[in-house]
Structure formats: C-alpha cells, structure tokens
Structure 1
Amino acid sequence: MEAIHQAKNLLRQELKKRLKALSEPEKVRQSLYITQKLMSHPAYQKSQRISVYLAMKKEEVDTTGILQNMFTQNKSCYIPQYIGPKMNMLRMTSMEDYEALPETKWKIKQPADDDEREDALKTGGLDLIIVPGLGFSKEGHRLGRGKGYYDIYQKRCLEESGIKPVTIALAFKEQICESIPVTDNDVTIDYVLYGDMDD
C-alpha cells in the first residue's frame, strides 16, 4: 500500500510539471477540442442530470463551454461544493449564477458553505459525472489529488440514490499515462476524453 502511495505521489509531481509546461493557447485549443468531443458523446447527449467540475485554470480542461451548452440544451447542471472531507453536487441554474459564485483560496468557484441549493442526491441522483483529475490511463484509471472526493462520491451515488452515474473524464493529452497505480478504493472511469494526439 505504501509503495502505491509513493508511486502516486511521484506521478503527481511529474504530471504537474507537464501541465506547467503547457502554454495557455495550447490549453485553450485542447479544451475546445475536448468540449466538442464531449458534446458529441452519446452518454452526454442522453444525460439530463449532469455534474461538472469548475476548472482550476492552470491544471484542468476548461469546462465553461460545457456549462453554456448544458444551459442551452436545458440540462440540469450540478457543481461541486467541498466542505471539509465531503463533496456535494449542487444545482447551478445559469451562466449568471456561475459568474456570481465566490472563489475559494484555490481560485475555483463554488457555492458558499451556507448556500441553500438543490442537492443532486436528494432530488433523484445524477445521470453523468464529468470528472477532473491529474492523470488518466486510456483504460479509465484515474489519479486525483489524493483526497478521494470523486471515488467517495460515486459510492454515495449508489448508496443514496441507487443509481450509478456514467463517468467521463476530461484530460489534456499530456495527462494520459501508460498506467496509473491504483488501490481497491479507486473507482474506474467509464470514458476518458483527451486532447488530440500528435501521432
């Protein structure tokens, strides 16, 4: 277990270096490409209740275009709210709502702790979760930031709503790894959509 933990930390350092080396125009280009890939994906098209992360600008595929598309398509949009060790998915209703959200110290927008919003798990669960991460294998293994938020949340979906949502991860091509060290607690992602490969 300790060996896997160390391997994960080494890989996190390597992936952070790769992301730091990515230029802003390249991040924008790949984000647009991946957004188009997602919008044409059958799982996205047929899903009505979707949770989507709000991107850390320096390290994650931008999801702003996805939010705009969801509101245009009248899909129900849920975004993460982190309070201590727990993550909830709360309803967001418009781009104006998004713009008005406060920012955390990590420069990520999220609903305030006392914000009274519809909770996805209390109102019917989710069809699809769009998942962030630091690294992914093409087989769906994921390396997160070490807190286990998304792994725990997927288990809660089954326990609290009886529904296992489809999961789609979004990644720059630089985040794709040959393999990812995993433990029994790591949940495999259904689909990994990544930026276009050079070859």
Structure 2
Amino acid sequence: MTAKALKTELRKQAEAARAALSVEDRALYSAQACYEAIRYLDTLFPALGNDTFTLFSYVPFRTELDVTPIMQWCWQRGGRVAVPKVIADRKLMSLHLIGGLDELVTGKWGIREPEMSAPIVSDLSAIDVMLVPGLAFDGEGGRLGYGGGYYDAFIRRCRENAGKEPYKLAVAFDVQRVAAVPMDDHDFRVDAVVTEKHKWLVTTGNKDARI
C-alpha cells in the first residue's frame, strides 16, 4: 500500500476514534491536556510575561481538542496570540494577531478565523510556539494532518524565509496516539506531544521520552 493510501486509511480511523469520544469526555480531556501543556510551556519558557512572546494557535473546529485555555493563558501572561486565516487560492495561511476569541468570525468551511483587518505577523521568526492540529501522532513526532498541506507549507516558509522554526507542540487526545504515521519527505515532525494521559518529547533522540 502506498503512503498516500496508508494516510487515507489512517485518517478515517483517527477521525472515527476522535468522533467516538462523548462531548463530556472531549471537554474533560481537553481541559486535562491543556493543563499539562501549560505546565510544560511554563517550564520551557520561564521568562514568558511580555509581548515579545508569540503563540501561533489553530482555532478548534468540530471534534478537535479545545486549545483555547492555552490561548487564554498566553494572553494572561502578557503574550501575543496569532491565529491563521486560509488563503485558499494560494494554498497558504496568513497569521493575524487577536486579543480575544470575540475577534474571530466564521470563515471558510465554518472555521472561526480572524478578520483580514487584524494585524498580520509578517516576521515568522517572531513565533515562539506553534500549536499543531492533526488527526494522529506517533512517538517520533510523526503527524497526520487533514491533507490540505497548509501547515507543511507554513513550516517550509519558516525554514526558507525566517531561518528558524517555532517550537511545534501537539496537544491531542490520547486516542490520537498511533504506533506510526506514514511520512513523506515534505511532512514535518512535531517537537513534543501532550495528551490527557501522556507527555513525550521527540527531539531528544530518545523515542517516547517522557517530560
């Protein structure tokens, strides 16, 4: 089976596993995973507390884990939050700063996104942490996205134009952990994954190194 076919099959399985969680469990597990992620970020960035820190976060949609508590934590600590707006005809995302969830509007595919008038983050090197959405993750940082390629393209832009990448953190439900994600050359890996049950680093050289 080709990598493309493997990804298609794994997407179906991962979406089904996430959708099978009850509304109550999704809310509980989201809160638990965000709590652990915030504890980790507080350790990783002990100097956080001014407007030089920038968090790039996706806006949760449908059955995705609700990462808005991490966005609230960033604002409360004096940091900046950037969220994406899809530019479909160019297959790109533009990043815009928002000061609260009330600044989001319903955009393409029903996903909440910023207004075009919101301040743009033009310097990608200013992004410190990126909350990475996805359907499945493995112990080596492998990520299965939704197939659009927007986040892969964003990381390429960071590498080519900014000379650095943000710290890539996935906050996911434990049912999204899989043994292995089929990866292509253009796919990027995350630096760490946090679920309601586990936390592990993937850049230490030690597979499944707990944090």
Q: What is the TM-score of this pair, normalised by structure 1? A: 0.88
Counterpart Cα distance in 1 of 2:60 and 2:156: 23
Percent identity reads 27
The within-5 A match list for 1:93-172 is: 93=99, 95=100, 98-112=101-115, 115-122=116-123, 124-172=125-173
Partner of 2:59: 54
Name the CA shift for 1:153/1:43 in 2 (closer, same or farther; >3 Å). Answer: farther
- Does the CA contact (< 8 Å) of 2:134 and 2:145 recur in 1? yes
Structure 1 runs of 4+ aligned residues shifted over 4 Å read 44-47
> Does residue 20 of structure 2 align to residue 21 of structure 1?
yes
Root mean square deviation of aligned Cα:
1.8
How many angstroms does 1:88 deviate by? 1.8
- Does the CA contact (< 8 Å) of 2:103 and 2:114 recur in 1? no
- 1:52 maps to a residue whose letter is S
| Residue-by-residue CA offset, 1:31-59 (whole Å, 9 max, x unaligned) | 1111111111133555611101110132x
- 1:192 maps to a residue whose letter is V
- Does the CA contact (< 8 Å) of 2:83 and 2:96 recur in 1? yes
| Residue-by-residue CA offset, 1:125-155 (whole Å, 9 max, x unaligned) | 3111110001100221000000111111112
Partner of 1:91: 97
- Does the CA contact (< 8 Å) of 1:43 and 1:128 recur in 2? no
Partner of 1:65: 69
Counterpart Cα distance in 2 of 1:17 and 1:67: 27
Partner of 1:9: 8
Secondary structure of 1:140 counterpart: coil
Name the CA shift for 1:119/1:46 in 2 (closer, same or farther; >3 Å). Answer: farther
Q: What is the TM-score of this pair, normalised by structure 2? A: 0.84
Structure 2 runs not aligned, ≥5 long: 199-211
Counterpart Cα distance in 2 of 1:44 and 1:29: 26
How many angstroms does 1:10 deviate by? 0.3
- 2:82 maps to a residue whose letter is Y
Counterpart Cα distance in 2 of 1:158 and 1:141: 18
Counterpart Cα distance in 1 of 2:45 and 2:149: 24
Structure 1 runs not aligned, ≥5 long: none
Name the CA shift for 1:154/1:128 in 2 (closer, same or farther; >3 Å). Answer: same
Name the CA shift for 1:175/1:144 in 2 (closer, same or farther; >3 Å). Answer: same
